[in-house]
């Protein structure tokens, strides 16, 4: 198979990461064929810098028979419309997290993917972080899981849409990473949540939350996120009967604790997670591996987001409703 020609829809801060990795030739077996942004002047300027084609109408990318695959890096409230169109156009698809603003929209996307029978992957890019990968590789040595804790801290964001109720809020856009990692690192499902959320810097959506999650097998997890501080961190604590793995994915650190002793673990070098995710996607499109993160994984994370949002709004615990596909 020749090079996979990829069209990119969305050239914001995150979309530019995809564009630059592809344009720089950092994703083996793939090339950037075209980019799309609603802001024509900005989009044309970026396209010139990257040496690729520009269009302000995403449908031109979907209708171009020379383009094999599409990456969507747009606000998640657009996914339920764009993703089925791309699948019906016969394109392989990589869609940024969260898969959708809520589980109902995510389920619609899964039904469209099932009907189209195309390669479709959700970009839960934090799975490719070197600390996360090492924790997953070493998790069996901890024995039976006893407790999980994930904590993320970020600076306030200048992206206006992150404070719009239709697509924004920290639960959807940052918490979804933590919820996905709990399932990815433990292999357990989240059954019930109890969540509180606050608006500190934002005006319309939450920018801080704290949640207690009940996992299958009786394991508890704690997740807290804040986008209201002049600092950044990404703590992950995986606690088992035989010890603990305590890491920080933002600062590239990992410690193993046994009894009262701890030791720093050697880590592989940090990697650009978007590049790694793209590379996996391209391998799947080329038939070299199964889809690494199927859309169902994106739905499961959004279902946890839904339960946390409902719990925060009502002040009551909420069960996680899981759709069957």
Q: Which CATH class is domain 127-262+303-319?
A: alpha beta
* Mean pLDDT rounded to a whole number for the chain: 96
For 325, how many CA atoms within 13 A lie in the half-sphere containing its CB?
22
pLDDT digits (tens, 9 = 90+) for 275-314: 999 999 999 999 999 999 999 999 999 999 999 999 999 9
Cα distance between residue 125 and residue 278, in whole Å: 9
Q: At what angle do helices 295-314 and 103-116 cross, to 10 degrees?
A: 170
pLDDT digits (tens, 9 = 90+) for 44-90: 899 999 999 999 999 999 999 999 999 999 999 999 999 999 999 99
Query: Of 205, 204, 202, 210, which is closest to residue 228 (Cα–Cα)?
Result: 202
Q: How far from the centroid of its chain's Cα atoms is residue 3's Cα?
A: 25
pLDDT digits (tens, 9 = 90+) for 13-46: 899 999 999 999 999 999 999 999 988 888 889 9
Phi, psi (degrees; rounded to nearest 5) at 142 = -80, -10
317 in Cβ contact with 192 (< 8 Å): yes
Q: What is the pLDDT of residue 135?
A: 98
135 in Cβ contact with 245 (< 8 Å): yes
Indicate where the chain has its CATH 3.30.360.10 domain(s).
Answer: 127-262+303-319
Q: What is the pLDDT of residue 38?
A: 86
Beta bridge partners of 185: none
Query: Of 76, 134, 147, 82, which is closest to residue 112 (Cα–Cα)?
Result: 82
Q: At what angle do helices 176-186 and 295-314 cross, to 10 degrees?
A: 120
Q: What is the pLDDT of residue 205?
A: 97
Indicate where the chain has its CATH 3.40.50.720 domain(s).
Answer: 4-125+274-292
Cα distance between residue 242 and residue 147, in whole Å: 12
For 72, how many CA atoms within 13 A lie in the half-sphere containing its CB?
30
pLDDT digits (tens, 9 = 90+) for 125-136: 999 999 999 999
Beta bridge partners of 152: 225, 234
Q: How confident is the model at residue 114 (pLDDT cuts 50, 70, 90)?
A: confident
Cα distance between residue 262 and residue 294, in whole Å: 36
CATH 3.40.50.720 fits 4-125+274-292, yes or no: yes
- Across the chain, where does the E strand assignment appear? 4-9, 30-36, 53-55, 69-72, 92-96, 120-123, 145-153, 190-198, 208-215, 220-226, 233-240, 243-248, 253-258, 261-264, 318-319
Q: What is the pLDDT of residue 158?
A: 87
For residue 229, count CB atoms less than 10 angstroms from its CB and return exposed for 0-12, middle for 13-18, buried for 19 or more. Answer: middle
Would the pLDDT of 249 be above 90?
yes
Q: How confident is the model at residue 117 (pLDDT cuts 50, 70, 90)?
A: confident
């Amino acid at each position: 198979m020749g090079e996979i020609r990829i069209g990119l829809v969305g050239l914001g801060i995150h979309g530019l990461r995809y564009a630059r990795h592809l344009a720089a030739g950092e994703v083996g077996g793939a090339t950037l064929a075209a980019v799309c942004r609603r802001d024509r002047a900005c989009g044309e300027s970026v396209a010139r810098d990257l040496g690729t084609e520009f269009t302000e109408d995403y449908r031109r990318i979907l209708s171009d028979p020379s383009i094999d695959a599409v990456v969507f890096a747009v606000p998640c409230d657009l996914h339920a419309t764009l993703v089925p169109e791309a699948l019906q156009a016969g394109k392989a698809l990589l869609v940024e997290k969260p898969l959708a603003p809520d589980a109902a929209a995510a389920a619609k996307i899964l039904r469209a993917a099932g009907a189209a029978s195309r390669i479709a992957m959700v970009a839960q890019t934090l799975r490719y972080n070197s600390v996360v990968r090492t924790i997953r590789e070493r998790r069996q040595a901890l024995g039976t899981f006893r407790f999980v804790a994930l904590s993320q801290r970020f600076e306030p964001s200048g992206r206006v849409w992150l404070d719009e109720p239709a697509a924004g809020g920290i639960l959807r856009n940052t918490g979804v990473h933590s919820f996905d990692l709990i399932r990815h690192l433990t292999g357990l499902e989240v059954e019930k949540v109890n969540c509180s959320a606050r608006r500190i810097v934002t005006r319309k959506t939450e920018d801080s939350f704290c949640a207690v999650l009940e996992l299958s097998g009786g394991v508890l997890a704690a997740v807290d996120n804040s986008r209201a501080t002049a600092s950044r961190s990404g703590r992950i604590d995986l606690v088992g009967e035989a010890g603990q793995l305590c890491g920080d994915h933002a600062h590239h650190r990992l410690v193993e604790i046994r009894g009262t002793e701890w030791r720093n673990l050697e880590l592989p070098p940090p990697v650009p997670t978007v590049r790694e995710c793209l590379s996996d996607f391209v391998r799947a499109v080329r038939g070299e591996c199964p889809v690494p993160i199927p859309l169902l994984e994106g739905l499961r994370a959004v279902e946890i987001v839904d339960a946390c949002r409902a719990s925060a709004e009502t002040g009551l615990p909420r069960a996680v409703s899981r759709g069957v596909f």
